[in-house]
Amino acid sequence: RSLSIDLRAALRADELTLAYQPLVDIATRKIVAVEALARWNHRELGPIEPSEFVGVAERTGLATPLGAWALRTACTAAARWRTFSDIVVRVNVSALQLRDPDFPTEVASVLAETGLPPFALGLEVTETVWVADTERVADTVSALHAMGVALLLDDMGKGHSSMSYLDRYPMFECFKIDKSYIARLPAPRARAIISAIVALARAFDVTVVGEGVETEEQLDALAATGCDFAQGYLLGRPVGAGAIADLLLGNR
């Protein structure tokens, strides 16, 4: 069977959902943002891993419709939450979306239609976007930055991060440290790498998030590096929109 055909139908039938994972300020443990994560419960196959269906979407021309759906859904939800909370929402975008010169226009219309202010939206970009088509991606990312939308470098340290990209593209306002480093805390080498990313972030005046925090020991070691924000199962699993609204109401 073709997962791509099923995914296209699922998008049309609104069978995908977004889960939202809290991002907390380590010092206060308050939720300051939520990250939207796509979920697909296939009619026959059951839940399918996002890494699998996002990959299918990218290989079969569905990255744009999937991305458009996720953006619109997340912005609609966030605009509602912002009537009682100052939360911001982060949406993952694929490299293919960033190669589309129409993407900034699409983002602008979603913001206009949902009433979400640009500063309340963040787009998470993995470092692999720079591998191909660097010029085109840089144009799109610059246009989004000019609109006031926040840009976050996701999975930092995982693979292709190059100091030259960090130097050439200063528009990222946040580095998200890949969870493979957090998983190894408090091991000295992991601590050293995280400390170096935190130092770079400070010098660039950008914020840092440690991802995938699962234990208090990891959170303490992360805080000791000077990292201010964290995400992970210890602090909050990805949950549905209703559960996030309840958390935000209790978070004020």
**DSSP secondary structure code for residue 239 in this structure:** B
Q: Pick the binder of Na ion from 154, 177, 230, 241 (CB under 5 A).
A: 154
Q: Dihedral of the CA atoms 207, 211, 214, 217 (nearest 10)? A: -40
Q: Pick the binder of ligand G from 92, 114, 140, 207 (CB under 6 A).
A: 92
Q: Which range, of 15-23, 55-63, 84-92, 115-123, touches Mn ion by CB under 5 A?
A: 84-92
**CB-wise, 3 or 89, nearer to Mn ion?**
89
Q: Pick the binder of ligand G from 154, 175, 209, 210 (CB under 6 A).
A: 154
- Written as one string, the DSSP assignment of 18-61 is EEEEEEEETTT--EEEEEEEEEEEETTTEEE-HHHHHHHHHHTT
178 near Mn ion (CB under 5 A): no
**DSSP secondary structure code for residue 148 in this structure:** T
Residue whose structure tokens are 């939202």: 20
The interface partner of residue 50, options being Mn ion, ligand G, Na ion, none and the CB cut-off 5 to 8 Å by kind, is ligand G
Identify residue 190 by its one-letter amino acid code.
A
124 near Mn ion (CB under 5 A): yes
Q: Which range, of 1-9, 47-55, 109-117, 242-250, touches ligand G by CB under 6 A?
A: 47-55
Q: Pick the binder of ligand G from 8, 11, 15, 37 (CB under 6 A).
A: 37
Pairing, β 229-230 against β 207-210? parallel
Cβ-contact 122, 152 below 8 angstroms:
yes
**CB-wise, 70 or 79, nearer to ligand G?**
70
Q: Pick the binder of ligand G from 104, 122, 157, 232 (CB under 6 A).
A: 232
214 near ligand G (CB under 6 A): yes
The interface partner of residue 85, options being Mn ion, ligand G, Na ion, none and the CB cut-off 5 to 8 Å by kind, is none
- For 22, phi then psi, to 5°, come to -65, 150
The interface partner of residue 212, options being Na ion, ligand G, Mn ion, none and the CB cut-off 5 to 8 Å by kind, is ligand G
Of the candidates 112, 107, 126, the residue with the CA atom closest to the CA atom of residue 68: 107
Total number of residues that touch ligand G (CB under 6 A): 22
**CB-wise, 85 or 94, nearer to Na ion?**
94
Cβ-contact 9, 66 below 8 angstroms:
no
21 near ligand G (CB under 6 A): yes
Helix ranges (DSSP H) in the chain: 3-12, 50-59, 63-81, 95-98, 103-114, 134-147, 163-168, 179-183, 188-204, 216-224, 241-249
Q: Pick the binder of Na ion from 155, 194, 222, 236 (CB under 5 A).
A: 155
* Interface positions with ligand G (CB under 6 A): 21, 37-38, 50-51, 54, 70, 92-94, 124, 154-155, 179, 211-214, 231-233, 238
* Interface positions with Mn ion (CB under 5 A): 92, 124, 154
